Amino acid sequence: MSRSAHPAGPRHADVLPEGHYSAPPTDLNALDSKVWAETVTRDEDGVLTVGGIDVKRLAEEFGTPAYFLDEQDFRARARAWRTAFGGDADVFYAGKAFLSRAVVRWLHEEGLNLDVCSGGELATALSAGMPAERIAFHGNNKSVAEIRRAVEAGVGRIVLDSFQEIVRVAHIAQELGRRQRVQIRITVGVEAHTHEFIATAHEDQKFGIPLAGGQAAEAVRRALKLDGIELIGIHSHIGSQIFDMSGFEVAAHRVVGLLKDIRDEHGVELPEIDLGGGLGIAYTSDDDPREPHEIAKALTEIVTRECEAARLATPRISVEPGRAVVGPTAFTLYEVGTVKPLDGLRTYVSVDGGMSDNIRTALYDAEYSVVLASRVSDAEPMLCRVVGKHCESGDIVVKDAFLPGDLAPGDLIAVPATGAYCRSMASNYNHVLRPPVVAVRDGEARVIVRRETEEDLLRLDVG
């Protein structure tokens, strides 16, 4: 990994300032297939294309900023996840990464299930025809109305997140004359992010019921006594953007330990275990994610081994990848508005979007890459910071990246791997209008989430 913090030193043009960046790439026009959707390439004029359509045409038709999503790639990744376990596990796409009705239909057609975590996500899923029994309902504070709607609809499972919710869901289900299938989300004392994980005794966070101190065991005790719910399994989600499987190893060990305790205390072997999502993707060339079939093999081996050691029948596994399905399938296209070189520092490139369409850089210090998309260039690399148009100095899209030195207003630039947690976390800060999501496939582009209009904004403002 060549990412380095350059020592602060005299600030003249050939000394790079402090920051997180690799050495300038040898070819600024090259596209690293790790970070781009499957059908993205450059045409003979050097213009970036997706699904056979070039970005100049896309910008003309749909405007900028806009997210362009490669439908073929989305479907291929969904399929890869479904087949990775050879039918021995259930894959629930995590809708929080990005959800729209078109996406729900693709998931349905490709045989995936869906994890939702709000009434809005549930409504979107149901309105697009996802069968309720293929929906899992999550959340640490589901409202009574949301629970009622989910039970009435007949969702496949509700993932219980607190002692109050165990009683609440059981009560509502009983009132409705149903027996709701549930899992209990526990915290196993593992926190995993990227290449590291931390195993601790306690987890200081709002999700789940701690295994530590016997709380999870007590939750199971209570759930097993209630008529309105049927406890089918234990759920654990350990973090995000994970590359190292050892966090899952510790988590599976602890979850299976609980299953064994449940068997010993209650004589019940719960049939399911959910290991959550959090599998990493490549945002830059420095990231090396694993393929779904490798992850599936590793998870299956871990759970099987742990269950054999505990003399338990291996439960059915489920996983909830969000980012790893949709993240790499989309890029954001921006138009450059201003180019501002700061002597001895870097060049600030202002685009027509920003933190309202990608909050991840400001929120998590996330790293992205960027390319000149409307043409190729042989100009010398220029260290840039791609920033938005918002009234906030932290309004950064790409913190440090090299773009050609002849970059100019009117050029189009594209930021890859923005399919997950960009449109779904988008805001109206500064009353900026949220960009559309355009699905591209086989030479055709269609809007699946339209651009917001000033009318949309004003419709909410009823004062």
Ligand X SMILES: Cc1ncc(COP(=O)(O)O)c(C=O)c1O
Q: What does the per-residue mask of binding to ligand X show for 175-214, with x meaning CB under 6 A?
A: ----------------------------------------
Please count the CA atoms within 13 angstroms of the CA of 325 that sit on its side-chain side: 32
Using left for φ > 0, alpha for ψ between -120 and 50, and beta otherwise, residue 429 falls in beta
Tokens 């059981």 belong to residue: 170
- Smallest gap from Cβ 224 to ligand X, in A, equals 23
Among candidate residues 335, 317, 417, 398, the one with its CA nearest the CA of residue 372: 335
Judged by CB under 6 A, the stretch of 61-69, 93-101, 259-267, 304-312 that binds ligand X is 93-101
- Smallest gap from Cβ 140 to ligand X, in A, equals 9
Output the CA angle 228-234-236, nearest 5 degrees: 130
* Number of residues near ligand X (by CB under 6 A): 17
User: Contact 115/183 with Cβ under 8 angstroms?
Assistant: no
Q: What distance in Å separates the CA atoms of residue 72 and residue 82, rounded to the nearest whole number?
A: 15
Binding-site member from 233, 322, 419, 436 for ligand X (CB under 6 A): 322
- Select 92 or 334, whichever has its Cβ closest to ligand X: 92
Binding-site member from 42, 75, 323, 360 for ligand X (CB under 6 A): 323
Binding-site member from 65, 247, 278, 354 for ligand X (CB under 6 A): 278
Residue 358 sits at φ, ψ, to 5 deg, of -150, 95
Measured torsion, CA atoms of residues 391, 393, 398, 404, in degrees rounded to the nearest 10? 90
Distances (CA, A) of 317 to 3, 213, 429: 37, 26, 40
Q: Is 97 in the site for ligand X (CB under 6 A)?
A: yes
Q: Is 277 in the site for ligand X (CB under 6 A)?
A: yes
Q: Is 138 in the site for ligand X (CB under 6 A)?
A: yes
Q: What distance in Å separates the CA atoms of residue 276 and residue 322, rounded to the nearest whole number?
A: 10
Say how many Å lie between the first and final Cα of the chain, rounded: 54
Binding-site member from 104, 223, 279, 302 for ligand X (CB under 6 A): 279
- Smallest gap from Cβ 404 to ligand X, in A, equals 33
Binding-site member from 321, 328, 388, 436 for ligand X (CB under 6 A): 321
Q: What distance in Å separates the CA atoms of residue 48 and residue 57, rounded to the nearest whole number?
A: 10
Q: Is 94 in the site for ligand X (CB under 6 A)?
A: yes
Token pair of 97, please?
A: 């990464």
Binding-site member from 324, 370, 440, 445 for ligand X (CB under 6 A): 324
What stretch of H or E contains 109?
helix 101-109
- Select 151 or 238, whichever has its Cβ closest to ligand X: 238
Judged by CB under 6 A, the stretch of 80-88, 320-328, 373-381, 452-460 that binds ligand X is 320-328
- Select 16 or 324, whichever has its Cβ closest to ligand X: 324
Q: Is 417 in the site for ligand X (CB under 6 A)?
A: no
Q: What does the per-residue mask of binding to ligand X show for 61-90, with x meaning CB under 6 A?
A: ------------------------------
User: Contact 352/337 with Cβ under 8 angstroms?
Assistant: yes
Q: Is 328 in the site for ligand X (CB under 6 A)?
A: no
- Smallest gap from Cβ 13 to ligand X, in A, equals 40
Among candidate residues 67, 139, 138, 131, the one with its CA nearest the CA of residue 98: 67
Length of the chain: 463
Binding-site member from 71, 90, 272, 320 for ligand X (CB under 6 A): 320
Output the CA angle 423-428-434, nearest 5 degrees: 40
- Select 239 or 315, whichever has its Cβ closest to ligand X: 239
Report the relative pairing of strands 272-274 and 316-319 from DSSP bridges: parallel
Q: What distance in Å separates the CA atoms of residue 80 and residue 351, rounded to the nearest whole number?
A: 35
384 catalytic? Reply is no
Q: Is 276 in the site for ligand X (CB under 6 A)?
A: yes
Judged by CB under 6 A, the stretch of 9-17, 257-265, 274-282, 359-367 that binds ligand X is 274-282
Q: Is 357 in the site for ligand X (CB under 6 A)?
A: no
Q: What does the per-residue mask of binding to ligand X show for 237-266, with x meaning CB under 6 A?
A: x--x--------------------------
Site for ligand X in 115-134 (CB under 6 A): 115
Q: What distance in Å separates the CA atoms of residue 425 and residue 212, rounded to the nearest whole number?
A: 32
Q: What distance in Å separates the CA atoms of residue 92 and residue 453, rounded to the nearest whole number?
A: 33
Point out the residues that are catalytic.
391
> Residue numbers of the site for ligand X (CB under 6 A)?
94, 96-97, 115, 138, 237, 240, 276-279, 320-324, 420
